[in-house]
Structure 1
Amino acid sequence: MRYYFIQFIKLLFSTTLFWSAAFCLYITIRYFAIGAEEGLEITDFSFINLLKYGLYLGVLIGLLYAIIEFVFDKFIIKNLSLAVILLIKFVVYLVGMIIFLSIIYSQAEVEIDLNLSNDLGWWQQNKVFWLLIGYFIICSQVFTFIKIANEKFGQGVFFNFLIGKYRKPREERRVFMFLDLKDSTKIAEQLGHYKYSKLIQSCFYDLNRIIGRFDAEIYQYVGDEAVLSWTYKKGVKHNNCVKLYYKFLEQLKRKEKWYLKHFGLIPQFKAGLHGGKLIVTEVGTIKKEIAYHGDVINTTARIQGECNKYEESLLISETLYKTMYNLHAYNINSIGEINLKGKESLVKIYAINPV
């Protein structure tokens, strides 16, 4: 609950800031472009007051926008089609704009003596209102685009994409986790390809609900495997890379009745952890994306591949383990130095289990 509250506050802050700036920009453009509105001359004095109403409207729309987006993203979006979601949102926002503008029009008419019509149904023939709706739709698309881009590339990565930070290969220090469904071949044969696909979809949906709590980013999905990434500092901070794994298992355990009802099983996942320096760069011109190149990726995948051999669920490299701050809440067992496929030198790994 605390995590959802923090997420909502962050969303509320961003939406309020965005819509306040958007409506103040709208008022500024209209003021300097026209100079008069609905038969009224707008003085320099009234312009400052109009900006105040832009802030009022921005705060109200920002609050409504945050509530609607949060509720749909967390509780509704999985169960409805995109067309239905867009229709419902448009109706809610339209009603919200009518109510909020009616309130603001009433205050503006009294406080700064503007001859604004606010009779019942005033908005139906009001050109300014429908111009505002069009402006709202355009700004909403901009906000949604930025939001989707941040979800696609990770928080802050989209901005780096825009400024061309990864146009040339750059070296970074990161932590990676390869997370894979146990007994995937057996489960796929048992469920059939359609139900198996629904199972993977549900598991990764549950995974996405918790990654933000541990500052993780989804690098890519490969079949029944998810590759997660952190900056090195965020990955080791508070043992985020380890805590996320066990929080994910806890999330699946909490929904065990639901998984048993729909799939007849409780999904179990194994994971490998490793970190170090590697290269980050843009690749492709069509479906362009940020790619990571280096031994860290390959080693992490090989470590995860050893889980079945040693009958462990979570394995970590010694390189990463030695940089973790406090793992007293876990049992750490040395597996020893092993020869990972494709590597010349031996790699020492450890198994991590809850106390």
Structure 2
Amino acid sequence: MPAANRLSRNLRKILLITALSGLAGLMIGVVRAGENNFAIEAAYGALTGTIIGCGCTCFEFIGFSNSRLRAARRLPPVALLIGRTLAYSLVILFGLGISSVLVGDVLPWQEPEFSEVFLISATVAFFMSGAVEVTRLLGSEATLSLVSGRYNTPRLETRVVLFADLVGSTALAEKIGELEFHVFLQDVALDLAGPIEDTRGAVHRYVGDAVIVTWPLESGVKQADCLSCALEMHRTLATHASRYRKRFGTEPSLRVALHCGQVAAGEIGDWKKEIALLGDTMNTTARIERASKTLGSDTVLSDALVKHLPEQARTSLRRLPDYEAHGKQEPLRLWTTKT
């Protein structure tokens, strides 16, 4: 089901970007059109935009940004920048060429100004690739928020928060060394990217050997996506256990805590900005993660979150003993999965 959801979302994104690109091409064609060739220029612009939009997004979602293609995800940013620039340039030129053939026009590379057209195409492709890499670095949600200024002034939001922490990471780091442990963490992060993407989660930040994922409350609980993410994280690491044993001599396992509540979200920093999430919800989630170790459960949910989950999801849970958390006046009511 998660894979089907991912395919459906990517297909919708491809169709949306293709449609918007086609519309932009149509508008450019209309602006360029003269009185005698209005229809041809409009059709040429729309067709070119559609081909370019579809080609670039297919390259992106199937190749460069496919979380399942580990080789592509491991490439250095410079290599990805060059690869995207070349791929996008070829798509742009192909779009211009095939559109010219279909409307009976001269091929772009047969025109005197072809070198200028290619240079413009490569420049556009370079900046598109750079924008994608910045988005990968910051995360799509953080990038859009920083560009739009959404969190320039702190605001209160209700979110689902997931803490996933590696078990036994300190001992493993001492055993295999810091550099090899970093490779191990990168492998785990790549494997966890799939479940997070499939459930529409957003990585808030990586903290050492832990990852913090968030959802707006409604989207996180509507189909129990937050719980599905936690369970899929465990399944994904179990599926690749043999690969980890062969490379690192151990199998990664997680302790996952889930909670929901109000957080104060806002920008922090000047030259290096990030979206910070602060408040009792974040602190409580960290305490729930520590409780999971004490209670011997790899997935622990707060009672506050469970109340928001669909009935079908709640039937798969069982109560844990109340947990006396440091700094809390009332004990935490916690839940875990039955299996």
TM-score of the aligned structures, taking structure 2 as reference length: 0.87
- CA offset digits 1:164-198 (Å, max 9, x no partner): 33222211111111110001111111221111111
Change (3 A) 1:139 1:92: closer
Aligned-residue sequence identity (percent) comes to 23
Change (3 A) 1:352 1:193: same
Corresponding letter in the other structure for 1:346: E
Aligned-pair CA distance for 1:224: 0.3
Partner of 2:306: 321
Cα RMSD after superposing both structures = 2.6
Is 1:73 the counterpart of 2:65? The answer is yes
Is 1:44 the counterpart of 2:35? The answer is yes
Alignment partners' CA distance in 1, 2:150 and 2:90: 42
Partner of 1:330: 316
Three-state SS of the structure 2 residue aligned to 1:168 is: coil
Is 1:59 the counterpart of 2:50? The answer is yes
| Residues 49 and 95 in structure 2, CA contact (< 8 A), matched pair in contact too | no
Three-state SS of the structure 2 residue aligned to 1:335 is: coil
Alignment partners' CA distance in 2, 1:142 and 1:18: 18
Alignment partners' CA distance in 2, 1:69 and 1:299: 38
| Residues 85 and 125 in structure 2, CA contact (< 8 A), matched pair in contact too | no
Partner of 1:286: 271
Aligned-pair CA distance for 1:305: 1.2
Match of 2:112 among 126, 131, 134: 126
Aligned-pair CA distance for 1:269: 0.4
| Residues 153 and 290 in structure 1, CA contact (< 8 A), matched pair in contact too | no
Aligned-pair CA distance for 1:145: 5.3
Corresponding letter in the other structure for 1:73: S
Alignment partners' CA distance in 2, 1:18 and 1:145: 20
Partner of 1:20: 22
| Residues 180 and 226 in structure 1, CA contact (< 8 A), matched pair in contact too | yes
- CA offset digits 1:121-170 (Å, max 9, x no partner): x617631x333333434443554455456555555554443343322221
Alignment partners' CA distance in 1, 2:45 and 2:215: 39
Alignment partners' CA distance in 1, 2:152 and 2:246: 48
Alignment partners' CA distance in 2, 1:160 and 1:78: 24
- CA offset digits 1:68-113 (Å, max 9, x no partner): 112222224234344444444444444444444333223333xxxx
Change (3 A) 1:285 1:94: closer
Counting matched residue pairs gives: 332
Match of 2:257 among 248, 272, 275: 272
Change (3 A) 1:230 1:85: closer
| Residues 273 and 316 in structure 1, CA contact (< 8 A), matched pair in contact too | yes
Aligned-pair CA distance for 1:270: 0.1
Change (3 A) 1:151 1:346: farther
Corresponding letter in the other structure for 1:353: T
Could you tell which deviates more after superposition, 10-19 or 314-323?
10-19
Corresponding letter in the other structure for 1:105: S
Aligned-pair CA distance for 1:223: 0.6
Where does 1:95-174 land on structure 2 (aligned, <5 Å)? Answer: 95-109=90-104, 116-118=105-107, 123=109, 126-127=112-113, 129-141=114-126, 143-144=128-129, 147-148=132-133, 151=136, 155=140, 158-174=143-159
Partner of 1:233: 218
Three-state SS of the structure 2 residue aligned to 1:210 is: helix
Change (3 A) 1:349 1:137: farther
Three-state SS of the structure 2 residue aligned to 1:203 is: helix
Aligned-pair CA distance for 1:61: 1.6
| Residues 320 and 336 in structure 2, CA contact (< 8 A), matched pair in contact too | no
Is 1:211 the counterpart of 2:213? The answer is no
Change (3 A) 1:54 1:186: same
| Residues 8 and 66 in structure 1, CA contact (< 8 A), matched pair in contact too | no
Change (3 A) 1:342 1:132: farther
Alignment partners' CA distance in 1, 2:126 and 2:30: 21
Corresponding letter in the other structure for 1:131: E
Alignment partners' CA distance in 2, 1:126 and 1:3: 47
Alignment partners' CA distance in 1, 2:185 and 2:100: 51
Over alpha carbons, which structure has the higher Rg?
1
Match of 2:168 among 183, 190, 193: 183
Aligned-pair CA distance for 1:341: 2.2
Three-state SS of the structure 2 residue aligned to 1:291 is: strand
Q: 5+ residue gaps in structure 2?
A: none
TM-score of the aligned structures, taking structure 1 as reference length: 0.83
Alignment partners' CA distance in 1, 2:88 and 2:183: 32
